[in-house]
Structure 1
Amino acid sequence: MSNPAISLYELNNLIKNVLDDSLPEMFWIRAETSDVRVNQNGHCYLEFIEKDINGRNLLAKARGMIWANTFFMLKAYFENATKQPFTSGIKVLVQVSVQFHELYGFSLTIHDIDPSYTLGDQALNRAAILKQLEEEGVLNLNKELELPVPTNRIAIISSPTAAGYEDFLDQLAGNVYGFIFYTKLFAAVMQGDRSEDSIISALERIYEYQDCFDAVVIIRGGGATSDLSSFDSYLLAASCAQFPLPIITGIGHERDDTVLDIVAHTRAKTPTAVAEFLIGNMAETALELDEIAQNIVMLTTQRLQDEAVQLSVFETKNSFVLKAWYKEQVATLSSTKDFLSRSLQRVKKEKQNRLTVYEDALIKKSQQSVKENLSKFELIESTLKRVTQQQFKDKNIQLNTYEKHLELASPENILKKGYTLTMQNGKVIKQSSSVNRGDEITTVFSDGRVDSVVK
């Protein structure tokens, strides 16, 4: 007995009819794109895949296609909404119809796409990365670093041919303050699948010379702003968050911040904005240094003025003390002189009295005795005169010494040494606050006077 059989075409046609009769006309499905390619006619061919929860094993796969006229509109709509290209490896929510052809088999034709699903998936991915970084305690590490003062030694991670890199250098070089910046480029691929590994490699090279730099700038200008998936990478974000130097980003996009922007020390929109931030930081530092310098000058000037006042007081006090001492010494010398004079007169008077007493006795003595006593008297008188003259001489020498000291401390002698005396209306000016703009003052030198007006 022979088994009934049908042809392969008949089987496929049967399957096609069953699918057409039993399935709805349209489905919304969630899937990941793979092997996306566009032919010369503008038709897009791709595969839809679904992986397990770990993202390792395929659970399902189906061929898909978008006709050229539909693909033209959907691609523009999707990329304008998500700011990223319609390419492989993204999760999408698409409206499809099921097709089964006797020759080409099962496929899905795409009619519509919902960009909000893809944006939601991206947001979930970024949120998951940020949560992981926070749980690891590294999310804000780079933000907690302090920018060195000044910040002018810059390591740059960028493509050497990027227009944004040239704009960044031109902005730094042309700053209106004339600040000098020292820059070193560490070239990297800034878009595409290789950008993540390339930027991390550049960071590793900078790490070897970290003492030579104040900060790291990651800039990306002149490229497609939609190709930013590598900046939402966990590995890149973790590397930047834990980097020992402050990282400043200028990736050049207006959409929500990437994970790299969030973990970086400072985020600017464009490379030019990064340059403006660095110039502004240097300007603030210069202003602070200028204020410090002014304070130093002010404090130094005040200290000099205080010291000058104290010196003037000291000189005045010493001059007063010296004059008083001089007067005291003169008075002492005068008193001594009077005392000596009175003592001499008293001695003379005593001698005269004694001579009177002895006169009668001496007359009675022999001539020789008279001569001997007379000689003794003359010797005594000569000795007394010599002693008295020596005392007068010593006192005069001491008095002359005092006079010379007083002369050295006199105002006239001080003026001869280069000092001046400033007077107003015949009175000595001791403080600068005593005069005002327009006052007439007189400056006394050792050899004359100069009149001037305070400006």
Structure 2
Amino acid sequence: MDSGRAISLYELNNRVRGVLKDGLPPYFWIVAETSDVRENQNGHCYLEFIEKDSSNRNIIAKSRASIWANNYKLLKAFFEHETGQRFVSGLKVMVQVSVEFHELYGYSLNVQNIDPSYTLGDQARNRALIIQQLQEDGVLYLNKELELPELLNKIAIISSPTAAGYEDFCNQIENNPQGYVFYTKLFPAVMQGERTENSIIDALERIYQYQDFFDAVVIIRGGGATSELSYFDSYLLAASCAQFPLPIITGIGHERDDTVLDVVAHTRAKTPTAVAEFLITKMDETADELLYLQQEIMSLVSQRIVDEYAYLNGVATHLSYQLKEKIKDKLNSVDSISERLKHATNSLIKEKKHYLEIKEQHLKLISPENILKKGYTLTLKDNKIVKHAEELKAGDTITTMFADGRKGSVVK
């Protein structure tokens, strides 16, 4: 092949540029959907225009576009004033564009004008219809009503295992400065393309079988074009997440755009790293609360010890005083009883002594010796007192006792 016939890439691109410039009108009105809308620090707006097929699922055309700062400021204010909504991704718009081709940067469109009569795009309209249906079904805010546990460290993760966002999340969690321990389990899923919906729902069903092992579910993906987020605008996926028994936290890589999945989730973070920061912050709050409770308990215990010590000292002093008074009372009582016993004993002894003296006097009066002294005698037979005459018969030997002696005799 003759190398002299070849041209450089730059020359080819330059010819393409010329053909486009000469063969196309300077301006076109096109209908497209906005995607990945962003404004840089110089005020220029960069975005993508996309078109989907009749199923409204697959993108069939895409083009880079720009709106230079001086024009973007006017068009944005005009559009938002007329439509009452922000100029963001997901809007179906009618715009006037010029076709640009640059040897280095390639094909793009430059927006010159906009027709505000085109407002919501297919993507945004689809989101609105899904959200409306979820609200009518009474499930839109179910997941948001769940309470996050105080200790939020057992996490089920739905993500592509090869995604950079998943790696960023794991690095952030594992290397947190405070050294918190997180227990994570990956449930792999496809996070882009037509399989996204079914794949995430399947992962949720696997987590459901082990829900008692987890505190929350994290759904994360890396960055990418805003147009890819349409796969997260799914009624079945949103309904499954809204009714899931564990709180769901999303971080699907876009700060500017909210998908239906973000709307129904318990908590929405802009990126996987932001999700990790959220979990670490929750652990910080729990640690602070535990530290506060620890200090409160220590303070209460210390104060209780002081109060109880003072109380026991008071009780001891009171008991000591009462004991002394009680002992004093008991001693006085004992002294009183002792005096009463002593007096009663002396009275009893005196009384008994008097009684014995009377008995002694009585015994002396009735003693045989005293009776004999009065002239009476006692008759004895066989050393026994004879009380009746019939006890004696003739011939019996008897003894007669007198006060001053005895005399024997025989009965005739």
TM band (smaller chain) = 0.5 to 0.7
**For the residues of structure 1 that align with 2:53 and 2:365, how far apart are their CA atoms?**
165
Tell me the residue number matched to 2:279: 278
Contact 2:93–2:120 at 8 Å: present in 1 too? no
Letter in 2 for 1:199: I
Q: Secondary structure in 1 aligned to 2:304?
A: helix
TM-score by length of 2: 0.58
Cα distance between partner residues in 2 of 1:279 and 1:194 = 31
Instruction: For residue 326 of structure 1, report the CA deviation from its aligned partner.
Output: 2.0
- Which residue in 1 is equivalent to 2:321? 320
**Compared with structure 1, are the counterparts of its residues 319 and 185 closer, same or farther at alpha carbon in structure 2 (3 Å cutoff)?**
same
**Which residue is equivalent to 1:298?**
299
CA–CA distance in 2 between the matches of 1:327 and 1:25?
121
- Give how far 1:142 is off: 1.1
Instruction: Indicate the residue corresponding to 2:48 in structure 1.
Output: none
Q: Which amino acid aligns with 1:204?
A: E
1:361–1:266 CA distance, 2 compared to 1 (3 A)? closer
Deviation larger for 315-324 or 122-131: 315-324
Alignment of 1:259-270 (within 5 A): 259-270=260-271
Q: TM-score, normalised by structure 1?
A: 0.53
What is the aligned partner in structure 1 of residue 245 from structure 2? 244
The 8 Å contact of residues 165 and 273 in structure 2, kept in 1 or not, is answered as yes
Unaligned runs of 5+ in 1: 1-23, 33-47, 57-63, 65-70, 85-89, 97-109, 370-455
Q: Distance in 2 between matches of 1:145 and 1:270?
A: 22
Q: In the aligned structure 2, how far is the partner of 1:344 from the partner of 1:242?
A: 97
Name the structure 2 match of 1:204. 205
- What secondary structure, in the 3-state scheme, does the structure 1 residue paired with 2:121 have? helix
Match of 2:186 in 1: 185
- Residue aligning to 1:129: 130
Instruction: Read off the aligned partner of 2:215 and give its amino acid letter.
Output: D
Do the aligned residues in 2 keep the contact of 1:95 with 1:111 (CA within 8 Å)? no
1:76 lines up with 2:64 in the alignment: yes
Letter in 1 for 2:63: K
The letter of the residue matching 1:268 is: A
Aligned residue pairs, count: 295
Question: How far has the Cα of 1:331 moved from its partner?
Answer: 2.3
Residues 1:142 and 1:344: Cα distance change in structure 2 (over 3 Å): closer
TM-aligned CA deviation for residue 169 of structure 1: 0.8
What are the superposed Cα offsets for residues 357-379 of structure 1, whole Å, 9 maximum, x if unpaired?
9999999999x99xxxxxxxxxx
Partner residue of 2:330?
329
Counterpart contact for 1:82–1:115, Cα < 8 Å: no
Separation of aligned partners in 1, 2:53 and 2:362: 161
After superposition, where does 1:104-115 map in structure 2 within 5 Å?
none
| Structure 1 Cα separation of the partners of residues 52 and 226 of structure 2 | 27
C-alpha distance 321-229 of structure 1, shift in aligned 2 (>3 A): same
- Does the aligned pair in 2 maintain the 1:140–1:263 contact within 8 Å? yes
Name the aligned partner's letter for residue 178 of structure 2: Y
- Tell me the distance in 2 between the aligned counterparts of 1:322 and 1:233: 84
CA 1:31/1:182 → structure 2, altered by over 3 Å: closer, same or farther? closer
> For residues 320-371 of structure 1, what are the alpha-carbon distances to aligned partners after superposition, in whole Å with 9 as ceiling and x for unaligned?
33322322332233334444555566677789999999999999999x99xx
Flag the structure with larger Rg.
2
> Does structure 2 retain, via aligned residues, the 8 Å contact 1:82–1:119?
no
Question: What residue in structure 2 maps to residue 393 of structure 1?
Answer: none
**Which segment drifts farther, 167-176 or 352-361?**
352-361
Equivalent position of 1:445 in the other structure:
none
Give the residue type in structure 1 aligned to 2:263.
I
Root-mean-square deviation over aligned CA pairs: 4.4
Alpha-carbon displacement from aligned partner over 1:181-235 (angstroms, at most 9, x marks no partner): 1101111111222222222221222122212111111111154454211122222
Distance in 2, matches of 1:245 and 1:176, equals: 27
On the 8 A contact 1:78/1:115 being kept in 2, the answer is no
Could you tell me which runs of 5 or more consecutive residues in structure 2 were left unpaired when the two chains were aligned.
Answer: 1-24, 34-50, 69-86, 98-107, 371-412
CA distance in 2, matches of 1:310, 1:169: 55
Q: Distance in 2 between matches of 1:304 and 1:313?
A: 14
Instruction: Look up the match of 2:391.
Output: none
**Retained in 1: the 8 A contact 2:92–2:120?**
no
Match of 2:255 in 1: 254
SS in 2 for 1:218: strand
Residue 411 of structure 1 aligns with which residue?
none
Taking a change above 3 Å as real, the CA distance of residues 301 and 364 of structure 1, as seen in their structure-2 partners, is same
What amino acid is aligned across from residue 309 of structure 2 in structure 1? A
Cα offsets for 1:134-176 (capped at 9, x unmatched): 1111111111111122111111111111111111111111112
What do residues 425-449 of structure 1 show as CA deviations (whole Å, max 9, x unaligned)?
xxxxxxxxxxxxxxxxxxxxxxxxx
- In structure 2, what is the Cα distance between the partners aligned to 1:174 and 1:324? 71
- Give runs of aligned pairs for residues 98-247 of structure 1, distance below 5 A: 120-247=121-248
Name the aligned partner's letter for residue 65 of structure 2: Y
